[in-house]
Each structure stands twice: as structure tokens, then as C-alpha cells.
Amino acid sequence: PIMLDFLTELPKCEHHCHLEGTLSPSLLFKLAKKNSVKLPDEFPDTPEKLLLKYDNFENLDDFLKYYYVGMNVLITEDDFFELAWNYLLTAKSQGVYHLELFFDPQGHLIRSIKISFDTIINGLTRAFLKAKNELEISTKLTMCILRHLPLDSCFETINLSKKYYENGQIHGLGLDSSEKPFPPTLFKECYSEISKTFPNVGLTAHAGEEGGPDFVVDSINELKVTRIDHGVNSIKDLNLIDYLSKNQILLTVCPISNLKLQVIKNLDQLPLNEFLKYNVPFSINSDDPAYFNSYILDNYAQIQKAFNWNIETWCKIANNSINGSWIADKEKELLL
């Protein structure tokens, strides 16, 4: 418990959490009822049964099936607000000071019920503003492109998103969804389309979760990302490890996600001691906390159970996580 108190108090930044992945089974059923959204026939019919299914994902794609069904219950601006606000309250209670959150606009824009980009952004932004004022939590929003959808859909979303990059409501660009069949190189023009117009945008991509270290290399070389989401398979290429270390590329590691999606069998298989040894910076994150029934502090606590690190090591991780955040130096100083 002493260590748990310490980990709660430790100033934490979260860089890898999908807002749609914070949709709890109870909120899912509540919104489905309110919005008269019909769930698939084979879908579990109570929050309790749904949670049981969540304990048995076979892999990333098996999880994604549920994730894309779940987000269909989000319809109104207030739904997006409630989703984000609930998560921000939880994050606050677990000692998080700064959050960089993902959302998947394509998952909403392609539905048969039309949801507008404004509906999504207005709801999320209202929650972020309330969090800044009432919880003293700072936030940045990163839009992810869904790699399993046709490039036309990706470009359409890129074009719709520009006004929100322009006005500062979206800060980052990421890439997520099913990894192995969809290499990063496919999305090179999507990235350059945003980065040429908005040079200060934060660029990141999911890579090296189920895919190999070559996807990490290609994300860096072709997409020009300065951060990698997951990236745990980087350890299979020591030249890459050297590059990540020299350039201080942050890996946003999601331990319990890797366990639940069967990327690893035990948490102690994560190459975190190797990353520390080679000075590769990483942060610890929840990914899809409601689907993995594990929030950010659970990730910190389970990692401590597996690795039994001392306070110095934890302070190093917390510092790396602050330094790797997309915030100004003077904001970092307040946290360090």
C-alpha cells in the first residue's frame, strides 16, 4: 500500500487512451436505451455479461469488433461530453495532471445515423474546458485515422478535420485499428497533408503492438512521427532501439492492454527493463480502460507488482512522461 500511495501521488501524464475506449458497459447500455440504438442480436444483453466477454479477447481484432459496436451508442453532443467528462474525473482521482487523448472520428462519420464532426468536437471540447477549470487537468486531442478503412474515407476525414487543427481543438494526428494487414506507409500522404499545413502538429502512430519493428521504423521514416504508440516490439531490432534512445522517441506503452489482447502472456515479459537500460523513454497508459476493466493507476500498480522498481526508477519514468508530452517547457516545469 505504501507504493500504491506513492504511485497515486506521482504526477502522471497519459498519452495513450482512446476516448471511445473509456465507454463503460453501464454507460453503453444507458446510451443505447436513451438513443434507441439497436445492438447486434448476438451482443451480450447486460453490462455484467458484456464485462465477462471483455475478459476473454483473443487478440486486437477480436477486441476491435466490440469497440466499434460500442461507439455506435454515442449520438449527441452531450453523449460525447459525458463520455469524456466521466474519464477526466477518474483520471483526476488517480493523480493524472495532463492527458493526450485519442478519438476516432471515422468510426462516427461512417455510420448510417449521421453524426457531424462538430457534434463530436463540441462535446469533447466542452468536457476538456470543464476539466481545465474545475479539475486543473490539461488536455490535448489527437485524431486517429482508422487503418482498416479505405484511403478515400481517411482523406475525407483529414479534410474535414483541418478547421479544428486550425483553431487548436485538435492537436495531434495518430493511426490506429487493426495493425498487421495495414502497414503505416499506406498513410504517408494523409500525414503529409496535415503536417505540411500545420507544422506544429504532434505526429504519432500505433506501431509494434502486433506488428513488427519494421512498422515502427516505417512510421518514423515515412510518416515522420515523433512518438510511437505501443512500440513494444521495437525490442526485436537493436538498431531501432539505438535510434529511439538517441532521438528520445517516446513509446506510449499500455501494459494491461497488451496482456488482455494477448500480445504477451505476463506483464514481466514487457521489455521495460531493457528500455530503461538503453534509455528509451516510455510512458504507462490505459489504452481502452473500460474494455480492459483497468484504468491508469491499475496499470502503474500491476507494473510495480511485476517489476518491483524503486522510487528512483519511477521518478525517471514520470520525468520521461512529462518531457515526452506535447506541452510547452514552462508547463513541463510546473509538473517536474
CB of 256 to ligand ADE, least distance (A): 11
Q: Which is nearer to Zn ion, 82 or 100 (CB)?
A: 100
3-state secondary structure of 138: strand
- Does position 179 bind Zn ion by CB under 5 A? no
Q: Residue 321: which of ligand ADE, Zn ion, none does it interact with, CB under 5 to 8 A by kind? A: none
Residue with smallest beta-carbon separation from ligand ADE? 176
Q: How many residues appear in the chain? A: 336
Distance between CA 294 and CA 303 in Å, rounded? 12
Query: Does 78 show up as a binding residue in the annotation?
Result: no
Question: Could you tell me which stretch among 164-172, 283-291, 299-307, 324-332 binds Zn ion (CB under 5 A)?
Answer: 283-291
Distance between CA 138 and CA 140 in Å, rounded? 7
Q: Which spans of this chain sit near ligand ADE (rule: CB under 6 A)? A: 18, 21, 60, 67, 176-177, 206, 209, 257, 287-288
Task: Tell me if 255 sits within 8 A of 297, measured CB to CB.
Answer: no
What's the angle, vertex CA 301, arms to CA 309 and CA 87, rounded to 5? 140
Distance between CA 166 and CA 201 in Å, rounded? 10
Burial class of 220 by CB neighbour count within 10 A (0 to 12, 13 to 18, 19+): buried
Q: Residue 171: which of ligand ADE, Zn ion, none does it interact with, CB under 5 to 8 A by kind? A: none
Q: Residue 193: which of ligand ADE, Zn ion, none does it interact with, CB under 5 to 8 A by kind? A: none
Q: Residue 289: which of ligand ADE, Zn ion, none does it interact with, CB under 5 to 8 A by kind? A: none
Distance between CA 216 and CA 219 in Å, rounded? 5
CB of 246 to ligand ADE, least distance (A): 27
CB of 63 to ligand ADE, least distance (A): 7
- Which residues have a catalytic role annotated? 209
Residue with smallest beta-carbon separation from Zn ion? 287
Q: In b/e form, how buried is each residue of 237-258, taking b as 16+ CB within 10 angstroms?
A: beebbebbeeeebbbbbbbbbb
Q: Residue 79: which of ligand ADE, Zn ion, none does it interact with, CB under 5 to 8 A by kind? A: none
- Does position 210 bind Zn ion by CB under 5 A? no
Task: Tell me if 24 sits within 8 A of 292, measured CB to CB.
Answer: no
Distance between CA 54 and CA 292 in Å, rounded? 7
Query: Does 287 show up as a binding residue in the annotation?
Result: yes
Residue 107's φ and ψ, nearest 5 degrees, are: -60, -25
Q: Which is nearer to ligand ADE, 61 or 214 (CB)?
A: 61
Query: Does 98 show up as a binding residue in the annotation?
Result: no
Query: Does 16 show up as a binding residue in the annotation?
Result: yes
Residue ranges in contact with Zn ion by CB under 5 A: 287
The annotated binding site for Zn(2+) is made up of 16, 18, 206, 287
Binding-site residues, in ranges, read: 16, 18, 206, 287-288
